[in-house]
Amino acid sequence: MQNPTTPAYRIPEPLARVLGRLPRYPGSLLFVTGLNLVLARHLHPDTLHMLEGRSLRIHVADADLRFDYTWRNGAFRAARHTQAEPDLTFRADAWDFHCLLQRQEDPDTLFFSRRLVIEGDTELGLMVKNTLDSIDMAVFRPKAVLRDVALALRQRLVARARPIADGAGIARGR
């Protein structure tokens, strides 16, 4: 039987050393792209208002990866928290984050067993945790993700084609 305080899987140390040397910003850009495509549309406006301008970090401890981001002007944005600590950091091993997303583990259980560490603004942390608890995790299933990506791409294509279709491009001499 597995000890409940140790994850079922850990990123191997040699791989973690390599991952930990990667620059943070490109990874954060990829991370927020995923958040914007999959998660942002499911967040309540009050939650987004509370997130506005706040600095956040996801720290995957066993991979030594950090994803720094913020919510600003209607979207998640990659951030560089180089001089000050972010307002809120969630730190856990990759396996524990996986278990949280799959609802195989309760955040409180991971927190009290010290497998999930929340640092920074306590009120913000509780709000983010409760918000994530309230979201139907089906939005993270591959089929739902692909549907959301296809919808976002279609909306962008329509938005780009609209000025040409309504004559605005011709009127401006394009």
- pTM of the entire predicted model: 0.77
Flag whether pLDDT at 15 surpasses 80: yes
Query: What are the boundaries of each domain within the chain?
Result: 13-136, 141-174
Separation between Cα atoms, residue 135 and residue 51, nearest integer Å: 16
Separation between Cα atoms, residue 56 and residue 43, nearest integer Å: 16
**Structure confidence by residue, pLDDT tens digits, 39-98:** 888 899 999 999 999 999 999 999 999 999 999 999 999 998 776 889 999 999 999 998
Flag whether pLDDT at 168 surpasses 80: no
pLDDT at 146: 83
pLDDT at 37: 84
Flag whether pLDDT at 125 surpasses 70: yes
**Structure confidence by residue, pLDDT tens digits, 131-145:** 888 888 777 777 877
Largest Cα–Cα separation, the chain: 72
CATH code for the domain defined by 13-136: 3.30.1050.10
For the CA atoms of 117, 77, 87, 81, the dihedral, rounded to the nearest 10 degrees, stands at: 90
